[in-house]
Amino acid sequence: MDFCFSPEQEQFRQEIRQFLADNVTDALREEIAVSGHSPGPLGKAFLRLLGEKGWLGIGWPREYGGQGRSMIEQSIFYHELDLQDIHYGNLTITSLAMTLIKLASEAQKREYLPRILKGELEICLGYTEPGAGSDLASVATRAVKEGDGYVVTGQKVFTTGAHYASHIWLLARTDPTAPRHKGLSVFIFPLDTPGVTVRPIYTMEGIRTNEVFLDQVRIPASAMIGAPNTGFYTIAVALDFERVFIGKYTKIRRNFEALVRCCKEPGDDGRSLYDDPVVQDQLVRLHIDVERLRLLCTKTAWLIDQGKVPNAEASAQKVLASELEQRLADEGMRILGPRALLEYGSPHVPMQGYLAQSWLLAPMMKFGGGTNEIQRDIIAQRGLGLPRG
Amino acid sequence: MELDFTPEQQQIKDAVRRFLSRECPPSLVRRMREERIALPRDIWRRMAELGWLGLPFDESYGGSGGDWVTLAALVEELGRACDPTPFADCVLTCGWLLQDLGSEAQKQRWLPPLIEGELMLSLASHEEQALRDAGEPPTTLRKGDGGLRLSGRKGFVENAADADFLLVSAVMDGTGEPCLVMVAPRAEGVELIALHSLAHPNLYEVGFRDVALAPDQLLARGPDLPARLTAALDRTAAFQSAAAAGGARRVLEMALDYAKERQQFGKPIGSFQAVQHLLANAWSEVETAWLAAYEAITHLEADLPGAADKVAVAKCASNETFVRTCFSAHQVFGGMGYMWETDLHLWTRKAKEIEMACGGIYPYRRRLAASL
Ligand SMILES: Cc1cc2nc3c(=O)[nH]c(=O)nc-3n(C[C@H](O)[C@H](O)[C@H](O)COP(=O)(O)OP(=O)(O)OC[C@H]3O[C@@H](n4cnc5c(N)ncnc54)[C@H](O)[C@@H]3O)c2cc1C
C-alpha cells in the first residue's frame, strides 16, 4: 500500500504548474468569475491550448488522441487547474468521453473523441424532462424508427449549455412496449438539426440553463450510442463518471484554505477570528471532512485506474462533497459575519466572493447529477446489498 | 404557563398575514431585488395607518405601547412574508433606540412621524477592521464652530439612500466617549457606496467627511452607550427570531405542498421515506425554533434573569433553522426550486440576511460559551 504520488506523477504536476504559471492570466480568471459555467473567448482559447498539449485527454487511450496516462494523473491535472481558479466543469470531457470510450462503437470513437480533444465538440446533457427528474426511466421523449434513422419528439428541461454546445446527448424512449427502463436509448446529434428549439431559463444565481423542444427531429441510426434499448445502462455509467467529477475536492479545499487565511487576518483590537476557540472548533471539523473527501476522491480515481467504474464510491463522493460544500460555505459565512454576504465585484468582498458564490451553488450540488436521496439508495442497495424499498 | 396567542393577538396576526399577502407578495420581493430598491413608501404608510408601526412606543408619542407577544406575532408574519419592509431596522432598532435614549424634545419631534410612516431611520453602527483601510481611525466626532463634525465610515447600512436619517455611532475626539448621532444621508459630506449582497437588496457603505451636525442631532453619549446599543440589538434579535421561525414555517409549508403534488416513480415524492425524514426533521426544528423565539421575547419583556442567554439560544436556533429549512426545501423542490422565477430562493436569501443581522451568530455562540 502506498498513499504517495510517484516521482513521475510529481514531475507531471510540476510540468502542469509551470504551464499554468506561463499561461493563466488575471484576465482569464476574471472572465471565469463573471461568465459562470460557459467559457468566454479567453476560456475557449485556453481550452484549445490545453487540447494542443493533449491535456484534455490525459486519461484517454492513445489511439483516440489521449495520453494514455492514469486517472490519478488526470485528477492531478484538474487539481492544479482548480488551484488556479480555473473551474471548467466540462462534462463532455470528464463524463461523456469516458462513457464513449467504454461503450461507443469504434467508428463513433474515431468520429467524436479527436474532435472533443480539439475542443470542436461540446455536448450538453438531455436527460431531465418536466415529468422525469429522479425517475429518468419515465422519460417521455420518443425516438421512432423511420427508414434508416429515427424521428425524435419531446421536451427536455434544465439542459445546461444547450445554447452554446454543438451536440446533445439525449435519452429517449425507443420501445414504448418494453418495461420502463428497458425501452430507452441514448443518441448524440448536432443541436442545429432542424426541429430543435432552445429557450433560456435562469437559475437563482442568475445563470442560464435551457428548455429544449424537439419537434420531429430526424437523426441517423448511427447517432445511437450502444445497442438499442440499453440507454438506461449507458446513462448509469455516464452518471457514475459525472458524480466523480462533480464531487471533486479541490475547489472545496481551496475555499477552505482561503477561509482559514481570512480568519487569521488581524481584526479589531488586533485579535483574529482564528484566536477564538469557538471558531477553531468549526474549522477543525471542516478540515477533517475535507481530508475525508480527499481520500475518497483518491480512491475513486484509483478504482478507475483499475478498470472499474466507481459506483457506491462515486455516489458517496457526490454526497460527501455536496454536503461539505454547503456546510463549508454556510458555516464559513457565519464565521466571517455580514461581509460574507457580499458578492463578487462588491467593495469589501472577502475571498473574492467565492464563499458567497459557493453558498448559492450548493443547493444545486445536492440534487444535480442525481439527488443525494437517490445516491443514498444506490449506496445502500448496490453498495451494501440491502433490499429495495 | 400559556403557549398560545390570546384571541386578540391571533386576530392581529391574521390581519397582518392578509395585508402582507395582498400588499407584499413574493413578486414585490423579487422586483425589489432585481431593481435594488427599498420598499415603496405607500405600502409603509398603509402599515402605519393600521397602527402597526406604533406598537412598541408609548402612547404619549402616538404609539400603542402594545405587549411584546403581539409585536412578535406581527414580526413573525413579516418573516413569513419574506419581509421586504424596513420594520426591523427602522422601528424595532432605531425607533426603539430613540425612545430609550433620546431627550424628551427629540422623542416628541421624531417619534410621531416615525409612527405615522413619514420618517425613515436606519442604523449605521457597523464597523470592523476588515472594512477599514490600514491606519484609518474609527468614526469620530469633533467639536467644530457652533456644533459637531462627523468623520468616518460605516458598513452594511440598509436602505441608506431611502432613509431620512441614519443613527450613527461614533466616538468623541480626545475623550473617546461613545456617542450616537442622527445624520441625514443627503447632508453635505455624506457619501453612499452601494454594496452588492446576496441577501439584502439595498445595502450601502456610508462615508462621512467632516459632516456638520446641529447640537440636537446628538442623541446620546456616555460610557454605557455601547452596552445600551448591544441591548437594543439583542431586543431586535429576539424579535427577528420570531421572523426567522415564521419564514422557516412558511418554507416548510411550501415544501410539504410540493411533496404532496410532485410525482416521481408513479407516486408523490412525499411518500418516500427519505423525503419524509427530511421534512420531519425540519418540522421538529421549526417547532423548537418558534418556542425558543417566544420564550426569549417574553423573558426579555419581563426582564427575567438569564434573558440574554435565552436570546442567544433563540437567535442561534431560529436563524440557523431558517437557513437549514430553506436548504431542505431546496432539496425537496429539486431543479424547480433553483430557478429564478420560483420563489424559494427569496426566503433562502432572507434567512441568511437575518442570520447576519444584529452582529451575526458568533457573538451569540460566544456569549453562550462564556455562560455555560
Ligand atoms: C442548474 C441546473 C442544471 C441542470 N443541468 C442539467 C443538464 O444539463 N441536463 C439534465 O438532464 N439535467 C440537468 N439538471 C436537472 C437535474 O439533474 C435534476 O434537477 C435532478 O436530477 C433532480 O430532478 P428533479 O429536479 O426533477 O427533482 P425530483 O426528481 O422531482 O426530486 C424532488 C425530490 O424528491 C426526491 N425523490 C425523488 N424520487 C425519490 C425516491 N425514489 N426516493 C427518495 N427520494 C426521492 C428527490 O431526492 C428530491 O429531494 C439541472 C438542474 C439544475 C437546477
Q: How many CA atoms lie within 13 A of A32 on its CB side?
A: 21
Which of B185, B205, B221 terminates a domain? The answer is: B221
Which of B182, B200, B221 terminates a domain? The answer is: B221
State whether B198 and B257 are in the same domain: no
Given a cut of 70, whether residue A37 has pLDDT beyond it is: no
State whether B132 and B214 are in the same domain: yes
Pocket residue to mutate for ligand 1, from A198, A373, A377, A388, most atoms within 8 A of Cβ: A373
Given a cut of 80, whether residue A229 has pLDDT beyond it is: yes
* Confidence tier at B82 by pLDDT (50, 70, 90): very high
Distance from CA of B114 to the nearest CA of A (A): 27
- pLDDT, one tens digit per residue, over B315-334 is 999 999 999 999 999 999 99
Share of chain A above pLDDT 90, in %: 64
Residue A157: C-alpha distances to residues A200, A201, B335 (Å) = 10, 9, 9
Given a cut of 80, whether residue A247 has pLDDT beyond it is: no
**The pLDDT of residue A190:** 97
Q: What is the mean pLDDT of residues A370-384?
A: 95
User: Distance (Å, rounded) from C-alpha A248 to C-alpha A320?
Assistant: 10
Domain-embedded: residue B87: yes
- SS3 state at A94: helix
* Confidence tier at B95 by pLDDT (50, 70, 90): very high
A37 within 8 A of A246, measured Cβ to Cβ: no
Q: Model-level pTM?
A: 0.95
Domain-embedded: residue B179: yes
B195 within 8 A of B217, measured Cβ to Cβ: no
Within 6 A (CB) of ligand 1 lie A 124-128, 133-134, 158-160, 203, 209, 364, 367-368, 370-371, 373-374; B 262, 264-265, 269, 272, 274-275, 331-332, 334-335, 338
Residue B217, domain CATH: 2.40.110.10
- pLDDT, one tens digit per residue, over B4-20 is 999 999 999 999 999 99
- pLDDT, one tens digit per residue, over B108-146 is 999 999 999 999 999 999 998 888 887 888 999 999 877
User: Distance (Å, rounded) from C-alpha A188 to C-alpha A180?
Assistant: 21
- pLDDT, one tens digit per residue, over A87-114 is 765 788 878 888 999 899 999 999 999 8
Q: What is the mean pLDDT of residues A232-253?
A: 84
Domain-embedded: residue B2: no
B27 within 8 A of B340, measured Cβ to Cβ: no
CA dihedral sign, ordered A183, A188, A193, A195: positive
State whether B233 and B352 are in the same domain: yes
**The pLDDT of residue A81:** 87
Which of B95, B119, B143 terminates a domain? The answer is: B119
State whether B235 and B348 are in the same domain: yes
Residue B279: C-alpha distances to residues B266, B274, B317, B325, B332 (Å) = 20, 9, 17, 9, 9
Ranges of beta strands (E only) in chain B are 121-124, 140-144, 147-158, 165-172, 178-183, 190-195, 203-213, 218-221, 263-264, 267-268
* Confidence tier at A117 by pLDDT (50, 70, 90): confident
- pLDDT, one tens digit per residue, over B230-253 is 999 999 999 999 999 999 999 999
Residue B237, domain CATH: 1.20.140.10
Identify the H or E element spanning B71.
Answer: helix B68-80
**The pLDDT of residue A36:** 61
The least confident of A60-74, A284-298, B104-118, B287-301 is A60-74
Residue B112, domain CATH: 1.10.540.10
State whether B336 and B365 are in the same domain: yes
Q: Is A350 an interface residue toward B (CB < 8 Å)?
A: yes
**The pLDDT of residue A242:** 81
The least confident of A129-138, A346-355, B47-56 is A346-355
Residue in A73, A80, A122, A242 annotated catalytic: A242
State whether B318 and B245 are in the same domain: yes
**The pLDDT of residue B62:** 96
- pLDDT, one tens digit per residue, over B357-372 is 999 999 999 999 999 9
Number of domains in chain B: 3
Exposure pattern of B242-273 as b/e (b: 16+ CB <10 Å)? bbbbbbbbbbbebbbebbeebebeeeebbebe
Q: What is the mean pLDDT of residues B151-163?
A: 96
**The pLDDT of residue B160:** 97
State whether B232 and B364 are in the same domain: yes
- SS3 state at B206: strand
Tell me the ipTM for this assembly.
Answer: 0.95
Share of chain B above pLDDT 90, in %: 95
Q: What is the mean pLDDT of residues A234-241?
A: 88
State whether B161 and B181 are in the same domain: yes
Q: Determine the structural domain holding residue B194 and report its residue range.
A: 123-221
Closest residue of chain B to A370, computed from CA coordinates: B334
- To the nearest whole number, what is the mean pLDDT of chain B? 96
**The pLDDT of residue A240:** 81
* Confidence tier at A280 by pLDDT (50, 70, 90): very high
A271 vs B247, residue with greater confidence: B247
User: Distance (Å, rounded) from C-alpha B290 to C-alpha B295?
Assistant: 9
User: Distance (Å, rounded) from C-alpha B268 to C-alpha B265?
Assistant: 8
Contact A335 B362 (CB under 8 A): yes
State whether B334 and B356 are in the same domain: yes
Domain-embedded: residue B361: yes
Domain-embedded: residue B108: yes
Q: What is the mean pLDDT of residues A291-318?
A: 90
Q: What is the mean pLDDT of residues A251-260?
A: 93
Write out the three cell numbers for B298. 417574553
State whether B112 and B207 are in the same domain: no
**The pLDDT of residue A88:** 65
- To the nearest whole number, what is the mean pLDDT of chain A? 91
Give pairs for A271-275: CB < 8 Å, separation 24+. A273/A335, A273/A336
**The pLDDT of residue A38:** 67
Q: What is the mean pLDDT of residues B83-112?
A: 97
State whether B163 and B272 are in the same domain: no
Domain-embedded: residue B299: yes
Given a cut of 90, whether residue B70 has pLDDT beyond it is: yes
Domain-embedded: residue B24: yes
Contact A135 B265 (CB under 8 A): yes
Write out the three cell numbers for A56. 484534455
User: Distance (Å, rounded) from C-alpha B143 to C-alpha B149?
Assistant: 6
User: Distance (Å, rounded) from C-alpha A347 to C-alpha B260?
Assistant: 44
State whether B315 and B276 are in the same domain: yes
User: Distance (Å, rounded) from C-alpha B328 to C-alpha B334?
Assistant: 10
- pLDDT, one tens digit per residue, over B268-317 is 999 999 999 999 999 999 999 999 999 999 999 999 999 999 999 999 99
Q: What residue's CA is closest to ligand 1, atom 16? A: A368
